[in-house]
Structure 1
Amino acid sequence: MPDIAAEVGRILADEFEQACAIVRENLSVVEDRAARLHRDGVVDGAEVEQMMKASADRRRAWT
């Protein structure tokens, strides 16, 4: 029987790597939103969704 703590650690490490990959793939969106948040003090959720969709569309166009 596998050690539960080791299995949980492996799952968390895998999910962390996946989250980091998502951020890396969308770094330009993250940086743009951070600049906008710094400038305006607020970011609209719909606006973030629109930018993420545009980023995904650009990635699909490259493949």
Structure 2
Amino acid sequence: MRPKKKSDLPTKTCAVCGRPFTWRKKWEKDWEQVRYCSDACRGKKKKGHPVILSWPVILR
């Protein structure tokens, strides 16, 4: 079985930093609930830090 190309995997946008992140094997059972790209972003959200977008966001 060939591995999937990274470009073929689903992506989401982090609820804290606004950066896009890609599906990971460890998230396969919980992908629908994943909201943060990293432990650092998850920690910032829990502490109530203001949302600061460090990635350009295009609004349509």
Q: Structure 2-normalised TM-score?
A: 0.29
- Which has the larger share of strand? 2
- Which has the larger share of helix? 1
Which structure would you say has the larger Rg? 1
Q: Structure 1-normalised TM-score?
A: 0.28
